[in-house]
Amino acid sequence: MKDEQKIRPLAIYQLLKNHTDSSVALGSFEIANTLNLEGLPSSIKDVKDDVKLLKVWGFGVSEVPGEDLYYISNKIFSDAELRILIDAVEASSFITEKKTTELVAKLARLAGEHRAESFKKHSSFKGTKHTNESIFNAVATIDQCIRSELKCSFLYFDYDVEGARLYRKERKRYIVNPLALVAMEDNYYLLAYGDKYQNVVPYRVDRMDKVMPEAESISKAEFLKDFDLNAYTKQAFSMFKGELTEVSLECDSTAVDGIVDKFSENVSMLKLSDTKFRVKVKVQVSPTFFGWCATSGGRIKIVAPEEVKKAYYEHLSKC
């Protein structure tokens, strides 16, 4: 009997957590009846007493005014927040179809069992999904290495025309100093620096295989003292390497949204006329940057420096 008294408040809390919210409540009779069917003897008085305890203990149980009805009001996420999280998971190409289905189900359950099916029913991920099912194990290992300040190693591969893996460096392991994991342009990357070349390099996590922690602690590179991780990720277009350069762009007024989306709302724009403006930005000059400019259909033009402008024209001539 004493064990039942200890378990019952938790059972009531779980029942309310899974089946109620501000729009759906359960009464004492319904709760007691459910617990009895599950083999936990309960009376209406028992339920009311235990609900009082849950309220005192701060479990977020609310009561409908003037009625014998109870619900959990302190959901971790609102419906809108869950919708955003679910959509983000579905839109992420580095999360496989199998893992996407699992994550959506877990997130949906946070809305309560009576709402979970609704969230899953209105979820249907589209687009390309990677097939590397070991990505979550890789992420867990890399994250542990970052927190423990240990080097990590891995095999790195590309694909051939038949979809088979082509391992780089003749299947020799990359050994790097992990800095951070970053989601960028629909992919997930490890930012790491190497001791040999003293530079920061992005590695796609879905292209890693057999990720392992190393016993050696990360190197405290001198150049990293002034390294700005946030600035690096903002400047790196799609994580492609390139020389960091200040570039002047002359843009059509209809390109304002595109400039703001890419360089933030704080970018300084100089109005030249009612239809033109100029902006100076620091970018990593690369084919990816040139490709981004080209997709504007002439609304964004590189006007300086001359060598970047020339390189852009050469890039277009090869397309």
Give the SS3 label for residue 35.
helix
**Residue 124 pLDDT > 70:** no
Q: What average pLDDT does the segment 173-193 reach?
A: 87
Two structure tokens written together for 87:
């959509």
CA 77 to CA 196: how far, in whole Å?
46
Would you say the pTM of this structure is higher than 0.75?
no
Lowest mean pLDDT among 26-30, 107-111, 270-274, 281-285: 107-111
Task: List the beta bridge partners of residue 276.
Answer: 252
- Predicted confidence at residue 239, as pLDDT, reads 47
Mean pLDDT of the chain: 82
More confident call, 109 vs 155: 155
Q: What average pLDDT does the segment 94-102 reach?
A: 81
Q: What average pLDDT does the segment 127-133 reach?
A: 69
Q: What average pLDDT does the segment 291-318 reach?
A: 88
Cα–Cα distances (Å) from 183 to 97, 203, 268, in that order, read 18, 11, 26
Query: Given the structure tokens 């309220």, which residue do they identify?
Result: 55
Q: What average pLDDT does the segment 39-47 reach?
A: 87
Buried b (16+ CB within 10 A) or exposed e, 162-194: eeeeeeeeeeebbbbbbbbebebeebbbbbbbe
- Predicted confidence at residue 116, as pLDDT, reads 63
Q: Which tens digit of pLDDT belongs to each residue from 103-112?
A: 888 877 777 6
**CATH assignment, 135-227:** 2.30.30
| Residues present in the chain in total | 319
Domain boundaries 240-318, CATH class: alpha beta
Give one DSSP letter per residue of 3-23, joined into a string: HHHHHHHHHHHHHHHHH-BTT
Number of other CB atoms surrounding residue 254 within 10 Å: 11
CA 230 to CA 6: how far, in whole Å?
50
Most confidently modeled range among 85-89, 167-171, 218-222:
167-171
Cβ neighbors of 72 (< 8 A, separation 6 or more) are 13, 16, 17, 20, 21, 59, 60, 61, 62, 112
- Predicted confidence at residue 4, as pLDDT, reads 64
- Predicted confidence at residue 234, as pLDDT, reads 67
More confident call, 117 vs 318: 318
Q: Which CATH number fits domain 2-72: 3.40.50.800, 1.10.3720.10, 1.10.10.10, 1.20.1530.20?
A: 1.10.10.10
Two structure tokens written together for 144:
């542990």
CA 15 to CA 33: how far, in whole Å?
12
SS3 for 169-212 is: HHHCCEEEEEEEEEEECCEEEEEEECCCCCCEEEEEHHHEEEEE
Percent of the chain at pLDDT exceeding 90: 21
- CA-CA-CA-CA torsion sign (227, 233, 237, 240): positive
The ranges assigned to domains in the chain are 2-72, 79-121, 135-227, 240-318
Q: Are 96 and 104 in contact (CB under 8 A)?
A: no
- Predicted confidence at residue 129, as pLDDT, reads 67
- Predicted confidence at residue 121, as pLDDT, reads 59
Cα–Cα distances (Å) from 194 to 199, 202, 301, in that order, read 6, 11, 36
CA 243 to CA 284: how far, in whole Å?
5
- Among 33, 37, 58, which residue's Cα sits nearest to residue 46? 33
